[in-house]
Amino acid sequence: MTTALSPRLTAATTGRVLRQLRHDHRTIAMMVLLPSLLLGLLYLLWADLPAPPGTPSTFDRVGLTMLGVFPFVVMFLVTSIAMLRERTSGTLERLLTTPLSRPALLLGYGAAFGLAAAAQALVTVTVATTLYDLDLAGPLWAVVLIAVVTTALGVALGLLASAFARSEFQAVQFMPVVVLPQFFLCGLLVPREQMAGWLQAISDVLPLTYAVEALQEVGRSPEPTGTMWADVGVVAGAALLALALAAATLRRRTD
Amino acid sequence: MHDAVTVSSLVVHRGSREVLRGLSFGVPAGRVTGLLGPSGSGKTTLARAVVGVQRVRSGTVTVLGAPAGSPGLRARVGYVTQAPSVYPDLTVGENARYFAALYGRGAREAAAAVADVGLAGDAGRLVRDLSGGQRGRASLACALVGEPELLVLDEPTVGLDPVLRVELWARFAALAAAGATLLVSSHVMDEAARCDRLLLLRDGDLLADCTPAELRARSGTDDLEAAFLQLVREREQVAA
């Protein structure tokens, strides 16, 4: 009998996905460098704009949040395409006939892209705080942690979305569906307390809201706050829930 | 002779179409059974039902004593899909080692499986750089690596040159001689002669379940292709 979640098979799958990435140098380069370059563009955009006295500069406020949003978006897309490829190439069907369980497959994917996200976050946070003078009160490790957990959410949502995509065209269009409403309502464009009540209620149930709030907490206070930890917990919980839903929607028997 | 696979009254629908119309047969253990029929006859659907990834309408498929697809079977059954299902962005060796890990085997078994399909010299090459025939063999290696008791192969010889085809069939016979059960689908009738037993499928119906010798004797011809055509005509006359 196979156990539902064999750590050995999960690790083998994580290793396999990372090996696939390793053979794709351009993807690695883009994953590591792209968020830093985009952040640089934002830095230059606001560089000469004076901030009202007593408030953080626009770049400090938005740039910090982007450390969570960029990897979330990128990993959502990468994962949903990777899973769709697995489905259309027949390898998924084959995997379903092996001892690898569905949760182990998805967790293996999640761990692989989570590790890639950690590397990406380390580079981006380092570049942001040194090259772009991003000011934050809290510790760097907290930013990396939040970025990784947020990316894990992107990975899990990507795996879930790929279950509903029959083609690459559909998969790509799930990105604006899943990502943009969360981005609009996360409190970055309009502070959450100034939103209409019903929009705020929607914002309350969208996980990206908590990722952004956690990053803002790190930006404000020198020590990790209880709110930050609660936010990280909510995002991690949402990621696990999405993974469980993805496993449930992944059918072993199909027509 | 006991059966490794027992199929009874199997009905499969895909969409509104009935793809398999109440099939019943057994696949003898330790033998090479050929699943033959023209394209669209239901061979792939039947193979998928045996490995447990096909949704079935009614009937049962019992594999090595358990319902097809049950968790305990997954380490004992190997499946090679018609289109090579290996990762094009991994090397042959990396593919084999991944599937080896899934079946609880190591790098040594992976290397042996790659050598078995004649790709030892190509183990370090990316699958996407291989020819179609080599990809198919890489895919086969990823099933052999688990040393399955039942190996289900969907059109494994399509696109292979004649020398490789002969080699592969010799390999299948050797696996059966070592105790494995093989169910091999093909639409090429001259491959039927290489099987211990034949299942002839047409439009989701089983036309014949016999040995190649029985098929030749029944139709009075040595040509298995002609024998198959004769069976089809007989069936059509009965229907008319």
Reading the block at residue A173, the tokens are 């269009």
Contact: B79, A252; criterion CB under 8 Å: no
Q: Which amino acid is at A168?
A: E
Three-class SS state of B219: helix
| Core vs surface per residue B127-153: b (16+ CB within 10 A) or e | beebeebbbbbbbbbbbbbbbbbbbbb
Contact: B74, A2; criterion CB under 8 Å: yes
Q: Is the pLDDT of residue A3 over 60?
A: no
**Domain span holding position B137:** 79-147
B177 and B153 both lie in a single domain: yes
User: How far apart are alpha carbons A77 and B188 in whole angstroms?
Assistant: 42
B60 and B156 both lie in a single domain: yes
Mean pLDDT, to the nearest integer, of A219-245?
94
Q: Is the pLDDT of residue B47 over 60?
A: yes
Q: Which residue has the higher pLDDT, B139 or A58?
A: B139
Q: Is residue B128 situated within a structural domain?
A: yes
Mean pLDDT, to the nearest integer, of A246-251?
87
Q: Which of A23, A93, A99 sits opposite B102 (nearest CB)?
A: A99
Mean pLDDT, to the nearest integer, of B62-82?
93
Q: Which residue has the higher pLDDT, A24 or A47?
A: A24
B72 and B128 both lie in a single domain: no
Residue B1: per-residue pLDDT: 62
Task: Report how many domains make up chain B.
Answer: 2
Distance of CA A29 to the CA centre of its chain: 18
CATH of the domain at B5: 3.40.50.300
Q: Is residue B226 situated within a structural domain?
A: no
Which residue's structure tokens are 């490794």?
Answer: B4
Among B61, B98, B127, B152, which would you mutate to test the A interface (most chain A Cβ atoms within 10 Å of its Cβ)?
B98
The distance of A209 to chain B (nearest Cα, Å) reads 36
Q: Which residue has the higher pLDDT, A180 or B158?
A: A180
- A58: confidence class by pLDDT, cuts 50, 70, 90: confident
B39 and B95 both lie in a single domain: no
Q: Is the pLDDT of residue B213 over 80?
A: yes
Which residue's structure tokens are 């794709």?
Answer: A24
Q: Is residue B225 situated within a structural domain?
A: no
B101 vs A contacts (CB less than 8 Å): 8-9, 12
The percent of residues above 70 in pLDDT, for chain B, comes to 99
- B204: confidence class by pLDDT, cuts 50, 70, 90: very high
Q: Is the pLDDT of residue B18 over 90?
A: yes
Which residue's structure tokens are 């059974």?
Answer: B33
Residue B157: per-residue pLDDT: 83
Residue A2: per-residue pLDDT: 44
User: How far apart are alpha carbons B137 and B25 in whole angstroms?
Assistant: 29
Contact: A91, B86; criterion CB under 8 Å: yes
B157 and B194 both lie in a single domain: yes
Among B102, B103, B126, B144, which would you mutate to test the A interface (most chain A Cβ atoms within 10 Å of its Cβ)?
B102
Q: Is residue B232 situated within a structural domain?
A: no
Per the prediction, chain A carries an average pLDDT of 90
B6 and B124 both lie in a single domain: no
B44 and B4 both lie in a single domain: yes
Mean pLDDT, to the nearest integer, of B73-88?
93
Q: Is the pLDDT of residue B169 over 60?
A: yes
Contact: A98, B72; criterion CB under 8 Å: no
Query: Is A2 in the B-facing interface, judged by CB distances under 8 Å?
Result: yes
pTM of the model: 0.90
Q: How many CB atoms lie within 10 A of CB B178?
A: 9
Q: Is residue B123 situated within a structural domain?
A: yes
Q: Is residue B38 situated within a structural domain?
A: yes
CA angle centred on A30, ends A28 and A31, rounded to 5°: 65
Restricting to A residues 121-150, those with a Cβ less than 8 Å away from any Cβ of B are none
pLDDT, tens digit (0-9, with 9 covering 90-100), for B122-131: 999 999 999 9
What does the CA dihedral B215, B216, B217, B219 come to, rounded to 10 degrees?
80
B96 and B162 both lie in a single domain: no
Q: Is residue B122 situated within a structural domain?
A: yes
B51 and B153 both lie in a single domain: yes
pLDDT, tens digit (0-9, with 9 covering 90-100), for A160-216: 998 888 888 888 899 899 999 999 999 888 989 999 999 999 999 999 999 999 999
User: How far apart are alpha carbons B73 and B52 in whole angstroms?
Assistant: 10
Q: Is residue B222 situated within a structural domain?
A: no
User: How far apart are alpha carbons A79 and A64 in whole angstroms?
Assistant: 24
Residues A106 and A250 sit within 8 Å (Cβ to Cβ): yes
Q: Which of A1, A2, A23 sits opposite B126 (nearest CB)?
A: A23
B20 and B123 both lie in a single domain: no
Contact: B81, A8; criterion CB under 8 Å: no
pLDDT, tens digit (0-9, with 9 covering 90-100), for A18-45: 999 999 999 999 988 998 999 999 999 9
- A232: confidence class by pLDDT, cuts 50, 70, 90: very high
Exposure of B158 by Cβ count < 10 A (0-12 exposed, 13-18 middle, 19+ buried)?
middle
Residues B81 and B154 sit within 8 Å (Cβ to Cβ): yes
